[in-house]
Amino acid sequence: MTSGGPGWTGATGRPTRLVLARHGQTALSVDRRYSGQGDPGLTELGAEQGERTAARLAAEPGLTAVYTSPLRRCRSLADRAADLAGVPLVVEQDLIETDFGRWEGLTFSEAAQRDPDVHSRWLGDTSVPPPGGESFAVVRTRVERALRRITAEHPGGVVAVVSHVTPIKLAIRSGLGVGEELLFRLHLDLASVSDVRFYPDGPTSVHLVNDTSHLA
C-alpha cells in the first residue's frame, strides 16, 4: 500500500510515522535543573499536561502502539495514551534520558561553577560526558538503535513515542539528517509533540516540531 503519488523525494512507500511526545512538568523542570535518569514525579501541572498530551496521542488515526521511556514522568502519559487508544504499551530502555552524572539536579549555573572546563566543552562537543554520566554521542547510539527497532516492528504504522528532550531531539536530528549543533540549538517545550516519518524507499522527513496546541 502506498501513501499516494511520489513527493519531491520520490518516495512512494508508506512511512512509519513516529509521533514524539515529551513528558510534562516535574519539580526539577520548574527550576530548569538537569533531570536525567533520576525519577521525579510530575507536578500538578505536569499531570494535567500529560493527560492532554495522552488524549492527543490516543486520537492519532491508525495508532498501532505506544513506546515509552521507563521513567515514571513518561510512563504515566504513555500508560494513559495506550489505555485510551486500546493499543499495546512497550517500555523501551533505550528511550531513557541522558545520564547527567553528578550534574543531576543542578541548574546550568551550578554545573558550570562546579565543573567549568568540562561544562564548557560539553556544550559544544557531543563526545564529552558530564562527570560520572554519559555523552550525547552515547545517547545517540542507543536512541538510533531504538528507532531502528520501532520502525522495523511497525512498518507503515503510526507509533507514539513518549520520551525526554534529548532522545526526541536526536530522533528529529535523524529525521533532518543535520549535524550535532541541533542538540544545542533546538528548543522543545514540556509536553510538546513532534512528528518524524521514516520511509522504506526514501529519506526520513520531519513534519512537525514542538507543537503545544493541545495544551491551550
User: 124 exposed, middle or buried (CB, 10 Å; 0-12, 13-18, 19+)?
Assistant: exposed
| Residue 23 is among the residues annotated as catalytic for this protein | yes
Q: How far is CA 180 from CA 82, 91, 126, 190, in A?
A: 32, 27, 7, 22
DSSP 93: G
Q: What nine digits make up the cell of 13? A: 512507500
Sign of CA dihedral 41, 45, 46, 48: positive
Task: Please give the helix or strand (H or E) that residue 6 lies within, else none.
Answer: none
What CA–CA distance (Å, rounded) separates 12 from 22?
30
What CA–CA distance (Å, rounded) separates 213 from 192?
8
Among 23, 119, 154, 164, the one annotated catalytic? 23
Per DSSP bridges, beta strands 158-163 and 63-68 are parallel
Q: Rounded to the nearest 10 degrees, what angle do helices 165-176 and 136-153 cross at?
A: 70
Among 60, 92, 97, 104, the one annotated catalytic? 97
Q: Give me the active site residues, please.
A: 23, 97
